[in-house]
Amino acid sequence: MDGILGRVVAIVLGLLALVGIAYAGYNGFQNHKASVVATNITQLITNARAGFSQGNNGYTNFTTANIAAMITGGMFPTDMVRGNALVDPWGNAVTLASANNGSRGVITFGGGNAQTAKQCVSAALGLKDYVTLTVGTTTFDQSNLPDQVTAGAACSATAAFALTFQ
């Protein structure tokens, strides 16, 4: 009887360990998405600055309508490209716009799909070097950077991001 009980306990403990490993893996994957958002947007800003800021038109042509031509030119991280469109790691459409008479670019992303509030906070904290970052209805700038509390208050599972850079 002790042998059977010992085997049952061993099986239960083994299953609990597997559940714990699966949960840790899931959390790691979820945090990874926010990290990929920050990395991709940072790379996109760097490429846009190199490709537009020195031209006579500034960011005037940095628009969603020109995404196909920018894909051909290698402007975007490859994991953002889906055909002739851009998506974030959550599967949301990424849109581009010009602002301030072409002196600034605007990248809009997020806003739902598989995004979680925790990922929203991680992405908001991971984004740097912008003029403004709007998360939901809250706008941050270089004199008012997000922290854990302010990003947490701004974020939700459906909060969209609008990042303006120069």
Q: What is the pLDDT of residues 92-142, one digit of tens each?
A: 999 999 999 999 999 999 997 789 999 999 999 999 999 999 999 999 999
Q: What range defines the domain where residue 155 resides?
A: 2-165
- Label residue 15 by pLDDT band (50, 70, 90): low
User: How would residue 19 be classed by pLDDT, with cut points 50, 70 and 90?
Assistant: very low
pLDDT for the residue numbered 12: 56
- The rounded mean pLDDT for the chain is 87
pLDDT band at 75 (very low <50, low <70, confident <90, very high): very high
Structure tokens given for 109? 């992303």
Q: Could you tell me if 108 and 158 are in contact, meaning their C-beta atoms sit under 8 angstroms apart?
A: no
Q: How many domains does the chain have?
A: 1
161/139 Cα distance (integer angstroms)? 10
- What are 109's strand-pairing partners? 161
Looking at residue 4, what is its pLDDT? 76
Comparing CA positions, the residue from 105, 102, 165, 111 lying closest to residue 133 is 165
pTM given for the model = 0.81
Closest CA to 94 of 160, 14, 152, 39: 160
First to last CA, the chain: 73
CATH number of the domain residue 103 falls in: 3.30.1690.10
DSSP 8-state symbol, 80: G
